[in-house]
């Protein structure tokens, strides 16, 4: 055989196997084989999820057909659901509930009274700085200002640019000012959105459509660090983009650039970096990600939702930070939340682009609707002019110096807490906090125990998973005098107690959270998360009807 070329071997093999076939059979076999191959290829590689991921899901789906397993899961879930409802009801103790529109409208006093009661429910004293993140500033003068501004603009809508041109102007000014803060040139642009999630969703939409129209990418993938915000997964689910997750370096807790490079394919529409990320507060090496973006001609999105309005003032506040914005050539879009460290009321964020061509792909246009030619820049049709005005007002109220000062306070407080925590035995800090988030872990005890113990003292921290951790996101409320030390003192006391019995397992509310990480069937975790969301819409059955004298029962 040594003298026969391989192609001849292949040819004679093929000819032999088809020797007794009629032409129609050859055609049919060939067509079927081609179609089956294409189908198999699509099945294996053309899906939002990897084959392994789908295989796992299918396995667990099948397992649920086994009656014993199904019954067990159903019983557990029913118990969990009942528990969520009980907790929801408990949170509402002492307040009457409404199930139907009142026959006649309530008076202003009744309404305000009830709103205040509703807002004041809950066990954590966020005003005293006991809560991680959540509310970023509580300043009477600012609240009064945004309330007055909202009052003036509450019924306006930038959808009707001809009727409210000035609301559009305020939006344009917020965007312009933000672009300048992030070193955008005159081509840079953006829009306001309702929050970080919408900003991210729109960046993914814009870059997906850009990749499709300009590069012909039909099966879009985005390369995302595991630590990036879950809004990217949400966007992927809405927009049918495949997420390619990239691990972080186990020491620095910033994305591994080597792994990111390997994750790039012909279908990659965007690379993502966080400045900083939510879980650990570490900042990815945006410079290196930008270089990858330039080298492979792939847009880079920087998620600065959390820290955006800190990082652009840090230099002026006296802290150094590696570059993270449009000053880097590869950075094409940036999301930054005005409703976090921009200190605007909730419901506003900014999505920015390096060039107008990207923003064009964010828009949606309907040209043939009987209601008119309908173009809209963001997800919503009608938009809240009041929120735009309130955000604009907040930015004008602070000015550059106001933000620099606020940033200085937040970062100084964070650095102080970090420095004190590093002195303690039994806990460690994940990576290097870039801005205002400090994440803690422990090799010696279950870190959720510390969270639980601090919760009993009124502190509300965020639990992290894979690996277990807890974090505190320092806001302006923590910069009030004495709060950082009170936190550190409570933490030291509880840590000392825990270190006496480091092997005790975690109990209390966080036990389930800890346990859920070991459930291999993640759909079960989805199920109970679903029930948790249901419980937020659960109203225990007690009715409230304003009495004839105008007083609420129980008020």
Ligand X SMILES: *Cc1c(COP(=O)(O)O)cnc(C)c1O
In the complex, the residues that contact ligand X under the rule CB under 6 A are 195-197, 200, 229, 231, 274, 277-278, 303, 305-306, 337, 349
- Closer Cβ to ligand X, 81 or 277, answer by number: 277
- Closer Cβ to ligand X, 210 or 278, answer by number: 278
- Closer Cβ to ligand X, 267 or 362, answer by number: 362
**Residue of 375, 361, 364 lying closest to 332 (CA atoms):** 361
- Closer Cβ to ligand X, 188 or 282, answer by number: 282
Are the C-beta atoms of 152 and 167 separated by less than 8 Å?
no
- Closer Cβ to ligand X, 210 or 309, answer by number: 309
Please state the closest distance from residue 320 (CB atom) to ligand X, in A.
21
Q: In what order do the strands lie in the sheet with 300-304?
A: 189-193, 349-353, 331-336, 300-304, 268-274, 221-225, 242-246
Indicate the SS3 state at residue 182.
coil
- Closer Cβ to ligand X, 60 or 126, answer by number: 126
Indicate the SS3 state at residue 335.
strand
Indicate the SS3 state at residue 458.
coil
- Closer Cβ to ligand X, 306 or 461, answer by number: 306
Are the C-beta atoms of 273 and 303 separated by less than 8 Å?
yes
Tokens 């002019």 label which residue?
385
Q: In this structure, is the dihedral angle defined by the CA atoms of residues 545, 547, 551 and 555, taken in order, positive or negative?
A: negative
Please state the closest distance from residue 475 (CB atom) to ligand X, in A.
12
Phi-psi region of 152 (alpha: psi -120 to 50; beta: other; left: phi over 0): alpha
Indicate the SS3 state at residue 348.
coil
Please state the closest distance from residue 216 (CB atom) to ligand X, in A.
30
Cis amide leading into 467 (omega within 30): yes
The residue with its CB nearest to ligand X is 196
- Closer Cβ to ligand X, 197 or 413, answer by number: 197
The CA distance from 184 to 212, in Å, is: 25
Please state the closest distance from residue 489 (CB atom) to ligand X, in A.
28
The CA distance from 311 to 343, in Å, is: 14
- Closer Cβ to ligand X, 255 or 453, answer by number: 255
Please state the closest distance from residue 102 (CB atom) to ligand X, in A.
33
The CA distance from 380 to 387, in Å, is: 13
Please state the closest distance from residue 197 (CB atom) to ligand X, in A.
3
Instruction: Find the distance separating the first CA and the last CA of the chain, reported in whole Å.
Output: 99
**Residue of 132, 140, 136, 127 lying closest to 337 (CA atoms):** 136
**Residue of 40, 9, 59, 25 lying closest to 523 (CA atoms):** 59
Please state the closest distance from residue 403 (CB atom) to ligand X, in A.
18
DSSP class of 506:
P
- Closer Cβ to ligand X, 174 or 231, answer by number: 231
The CA distance from 179 to 186, in Å, is: 9
């Amino acid at each position: 055989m040594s003298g026969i070329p391989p192609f001849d071997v292949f040819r004679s093999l093929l000819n032999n196997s088809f020797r007794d076939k009629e032409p129609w059979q050859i055609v049919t076999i060939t067509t079927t084989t081609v179609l089956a191959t294409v189908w198999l290829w699509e099945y294996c590689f053309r899906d939002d999820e990897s084959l392994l991921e789908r295989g796992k899901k299918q396995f667990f789906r099948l397992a649920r057909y086994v009656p014993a397993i199904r019954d067990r899961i159903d019983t557990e879930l029913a118990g969990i659901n009942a528990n969520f409802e009980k907790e929801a009801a408990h949170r509402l103790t002492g307040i009457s509930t409404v199930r139907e529109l009142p026959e006649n409208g309530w008076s202003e006093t009744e309404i305000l009274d009830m709103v205040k009661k509703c807002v004041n429910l809950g066990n954590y004293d966020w005003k005293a700085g006991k809560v991680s993140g959540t509310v970023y500033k509580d300043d009477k003068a600012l609240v009064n200002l945004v309330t007055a501004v909202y009052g003036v603009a509450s019924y306006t809508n930038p959808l009707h640019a001809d009727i409210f041109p000035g609301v559009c102007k305020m939006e344009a000014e917020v965007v312009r000012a933000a672009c300048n803060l992030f070193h955008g040139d005159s081509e840079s642009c953006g829009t306001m959105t309702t929050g970080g999630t919408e900003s991210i969703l729109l960046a993914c939409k814009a870059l997906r459509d850009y990749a499709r129209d300009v590069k012909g990418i039909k099966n879009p993938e985005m390369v995302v660090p595991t630590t990036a915000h879950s809004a990217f997964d949400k966007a992927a689910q809405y927009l049918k983009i495949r997420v390619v997750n990239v691990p972080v370096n186990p020491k620095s807790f910033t994305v591994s650039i080597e792994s990111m490079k390997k994750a790039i394919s012909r279908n990659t529409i965007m690379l993502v970096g966080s400045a900083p990320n939510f879980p650990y507060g570490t900042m990815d090496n945006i410079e290196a990600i930008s270089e990858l973006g330039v080298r492979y001609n792939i847009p880079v999105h920087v998620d600065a939702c959390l820290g955006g309005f800190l990082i652009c003032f840090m230099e002026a506040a006296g802290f150094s930070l590696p570059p993270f914005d449009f000053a880097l050539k590869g950075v094409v879009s940036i999301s930054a939340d005005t409703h976090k460290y921009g200190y605007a009321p909730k419901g506003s964020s900014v999505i920015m682009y390096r060039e107008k061509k990207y923003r064009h792909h964010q828009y949606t246009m309907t040209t043939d609707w009987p209601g008119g030619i309908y173009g809209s820049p963001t997800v919503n049709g009608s938009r809240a002019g009041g929120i735009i005005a309130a955000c604009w007002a907040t930015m004008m109220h602070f000015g550059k110096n106001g933000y620099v000062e606020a940033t200085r306070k937040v970062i100084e407080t964070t650095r102080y807490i970090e420095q004190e925590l590093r002195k303690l035995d039994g806990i460690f800090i994940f990576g290097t906090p870039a801005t205002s988030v400090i994440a803690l872990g422990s090799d010696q005890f279950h870190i959720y125990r510390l969270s639980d113990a601090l919760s009993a003292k009124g502190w509300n921290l965020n639990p992290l998973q894979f690996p277990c951790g807890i974090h505190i996101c320092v806001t302006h409320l923590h910069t009030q005098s004495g709060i950082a030390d009170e936190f550190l003192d409570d933490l030291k006391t509880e840590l000392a107690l825990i270190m006496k019995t480091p092997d005790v397992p975690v109990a209390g509310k966080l036990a389930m959270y800890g346990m859920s990480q070991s459930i291999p069937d993640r759909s079960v975790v989805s199920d109970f998360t679903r029930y948790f969301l249901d419980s937020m819409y659960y109203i225990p059955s007690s009715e409230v009807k304003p009495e004839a004298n105008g007083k609420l029962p129980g008020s």
